[in-house]
């Protein structure tokens, strides 16, 4: 990361009326949250599709709940890092003209103080009833292998978007609008290969002139780099606070 690139990014932000941020697993990895898929593509010997798909849940809901209870237990032990707090600080500057779109399901952005968050892949904190469809925040306490809805005693599932499922329209549509209307899009801690989340970058670049400036903040260049107007490479927990400080 060069000072020149940091200055350019800060200048663009200073002039921006609206700002959108897309975050991914890299932000939470700096807090100690493991990335979803292991290097061999398996979780404890199971295919990810067996523990993160509607078909896998239908076959063995106990296995799926064990997987998510383990993820919930891990998230309970970690805290937001300086990158999370820096994004919350940026939101204070723009208020409701700042939108944080995250692929992460750990709730760390909210814990850091961010408010205008669109969790496009769901949240580990929430459950959804397959009978009455009620969605509730259940915190991070273990829920066992067969949790029931406290309202109708129906079967509960994690409120997570699984492989093969569409993103919820009430979350995805505002994300598209935020990307289209922003003057600066920060792409933080994501390789921009998971769709449809990655499509927010060309949406921002394809808006009416002038197109949004895209600032990539990652450890190394990624697929997002070819769309970025500037790249700030390094841990987001270090880069984002420097960006906030440069803004003044």
Give catalytic residue positions.
Answer: 121
CA dihedral 112, 113, 117, 122 (to 10 degrees): 50
Pairing of strands 156-160, 122-129: antiparallel
Question: What distance in Å separates the CA atoms of residue 5 and residue 81, rounded to the nearest whole number?
Answer: 23
Strand order in the sheet with 213-218: 117-119, 98-102, 19-23, 184-188, 213-218, 230-233
Distance CA 205, CA 227 (A): 8
Give the rounded distance of the alpha carbon of 155 from its chain centre. 26
């Amino acid at each position: 990361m060069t000072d020149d690139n940091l200055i350019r990014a800060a200048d663009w932000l200073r002039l921006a009326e609206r700002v959108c941020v897309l975050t991914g697993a890299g932000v939470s990895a700096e807090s100690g949250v493991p990335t979803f898929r292991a290097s061999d593509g398996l979780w404890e010997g199971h295919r990810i599709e067996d523990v993160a798909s509607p078909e896998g849940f239908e076959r063995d809901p106990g296995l799926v709940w064990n997987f998510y209870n383990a993820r919930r237990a891990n998230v309970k032990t970690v805290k937001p890092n300086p990158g999370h707090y820096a994004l919350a600080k940026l939101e204070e500057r723009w208020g409701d003209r700042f939108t944080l779109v995250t692929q992460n399901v750990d709730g760390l952005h909210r814990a850091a103080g961010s408010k205008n968050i669109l969790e496009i892949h769901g949240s580990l904190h929430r459950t959804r009833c397959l009978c009455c469809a009620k969605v509730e925040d259940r915190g991070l306490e273990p829920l066992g292998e067969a949790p029931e809805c406290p309202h109708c005693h129906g079967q509960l599932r994690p409120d997570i978007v699984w492989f093969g499922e569409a993103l919820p329209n009430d979350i995805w549509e505002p994300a598209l609008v935020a990307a289209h209307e922003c003057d600066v899009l920060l792409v933080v801690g994501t390789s921009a290969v998971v769709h449809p989340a990655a499509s927010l970058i060309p949406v921002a670049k394809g808006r009416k002139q002038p197109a949004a400036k895209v600032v990539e903040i990652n450890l190394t260049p990624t697929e997002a780099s070819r769309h970025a107007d500037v790249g700030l490479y390094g841990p987001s927990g270090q880069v984002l606070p420097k960006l906030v400080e440069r803004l003044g």
